[in-house]
Every structure is written in structure tokens, then in C-alpha cells.
């Protein structure tokens, strides 16, 4: 079983990143399209956003989702092997979805592998979302609906998709069983 990351830790990290950029809560809310009260609740660890919202927040802060996992790691040593019980997990309080870090999420790595687990009715967000990095996804378990632009596709175990950067998409579990999707995002070189 993976270890959940406390929403408070993620919220504190978001606050630190926002403050380093000298951006107020109101200005950050305007940049991301969220309300100031949502940003405040997020920074205080009272809510955990959807996958799409977390990606949007990361993009606005100039970081990747992996940065939120890396912020919770103790020490500076990179684990090359990540055992299932030691995986870090980001939960959403908004929908039945969580992400598990499958590898080191330090800035020195060019790939960010995560396991996205969608419970019954779980989805990456209400709206389509995109990010500035290419992403590869492979369905491991269950059937999941991928909305890519204005087209819907139902994917099943063994199906794969490469999502180009900036392609609006949304994942949704419309079935009655848990869905697991391996997702690997590229990190910009730099």
C-alpha cells in the first residue's frame, strides 16, 4: 500500500512556490482561474484538487506534478528502486482519483512516471485540461474513457496513447471497477 502525502505538505509547498514568485493569493487565483478562497483552502491543506487542477496549478508555478512529490521526500538521496509500500500518493478529495509516484521525482530526472488510479466515477477534472509536456499513458487495469479534444475513446488494458503537449484531454472512469493507468510525462530539459 502506498503512503499518502498530506494535503498540508502539498499546500505549504504551493504557498512557498507562490511566495517565491512574489504573487498574492488573488493574483495567483486570477492566473489559474480558481477562486482566492480555493487557493487559500489548498495552501492550508483543507482541499486536494483534481488531477487536472493540480496540473494547472503546477504549470502556473513553473513546476511539474513531480515537484509536489519531491517536496515531501526526506533527504537528498534518490531511490532507484521504489517498492510498492514506499510509493508516495497524492489523493484528490474532489473525486475518487489518486496518483502514485513510481520513480524518483527529483529535478535531475527527465521522466515522471506515475500510476493514476481512478475509482468508480473518478475523473481527472470536470473540464478538459492540458499541459506543456508530452505524456504517454498505458492502461493496466479496467476501462477508461479518454476525451481528447472533442473526441471520446474508450481504452482497455493494453491500450496506449501518447498525448502531445497542449492537447486538451480528460480521463474518466465510467465503469464499475477501479482503473489503473501508467502515465509517464516528459520534463523539459534545462
Can you give the pLDDT of all 190 residues of the chain as single tens digits?
Answer: 667 777 888 889 899 999 999 999 999 999 988 999 999 999 998 887 777 788 888 888 888 777 777 766 654 456 778 888 888 888 877 788 888 888 877 666 778 899 999 999 999 988 888 888 899 999 999 999 999 999 999 999 999 999 999 999 999 999 999 999 999 988 755 4
Q: Are residues 61 and 84 in the same domain?
A: no
- Residue 95 Cα distances to 45, 56, 130, 166, 186, angstroms: 16, 16, 18, 23, 25
Helix (H, G, I), strand (E, B) or coil at 36: helix
Domain end point (choices 46, 68, 90): 68
How many domains does the chain contain in total? 2
Q: Are residues 34 and 113 in the same domain?
A: no
Hey, what's the cell of 18? 507562490
Does residue 74 belong to any structural domain of this protein? no
pTM of the model: 0.79
49 Cβ neighbours under 8 A, 6+ residues apart: 42, 57, 92, 94
- Exposure b/e, 110-139, CB count within 10 A at least 16 = b: eebbbbbbbbeebbbbeeebbbebebebeb
Read off φ and ψ for residue 116, nearest 5 degrees.
-95, 125
Domain end point (choices 16, 47, 68): 68
Helix (H, G, I), strand (E, B) or coil at 51: helix
| DSSP states of 78-103 | PPSS--GGG-EEEE-SSSSEEEEE-S
Q: 155: domain CATH number?
A: 2.60.120.10
CB atoms within 10 A of CB 163: 19
Amino acid at each position: 500500500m502506498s503512503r499518502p502525502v498530506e494535503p498540508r505538505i502539498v499546500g505549504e509547498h504551493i504557498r512557498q512556490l507562490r511566495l517565491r514568485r512574489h504573487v498574492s493569493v488573488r493574483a495567483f487565483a486570477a492566473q489559474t482561474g480558481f477562486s482566492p478562497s480555493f487557493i487559500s483552502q489548498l495552501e492550508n491543506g483543507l482541499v486536494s484538487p483534481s488531477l487536472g487542477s493540480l496540473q494547472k496549478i503546477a504549470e502556473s508555478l513553473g513546476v511539474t506534478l513531480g515537484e509536489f512529490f519531491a517536496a515531501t521526500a526526506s533527504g537528498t538521496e534518490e531511490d532507484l528502486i521504489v517498492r510498492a509500500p514506499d510509493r508516495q500518493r497524492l489523493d484528490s478529495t474532489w473525486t475518487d482519483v489518486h496518483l502514485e509516484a513510481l520513480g524518483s521525482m527529483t529535478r535531475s530526472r527527465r521522466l515522471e512516471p506515475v500510476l493514476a488510479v481512478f475509482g468508480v466515477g473518478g475523473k481527472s477534472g470536470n473540464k478538459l485540461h492540458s499541459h506543456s509536456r508530452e505524456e504517454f499513458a498505458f492502461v493496466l487495469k479496467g476501462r477508461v474513457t479518454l476525451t481528447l479534444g472533442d473526441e471520446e475513446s474508450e481504452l482497455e488494458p493494453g491500450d496506449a496513447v501518447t498525448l502531445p503537449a497542449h492537447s486538451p484531454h480528460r480521463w474518466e472512469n465510467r465503469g464499475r471497477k477501479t482503473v489503473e493507468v501508467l502515465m509517464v510525462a516528459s520534463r523539459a530539459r534545462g
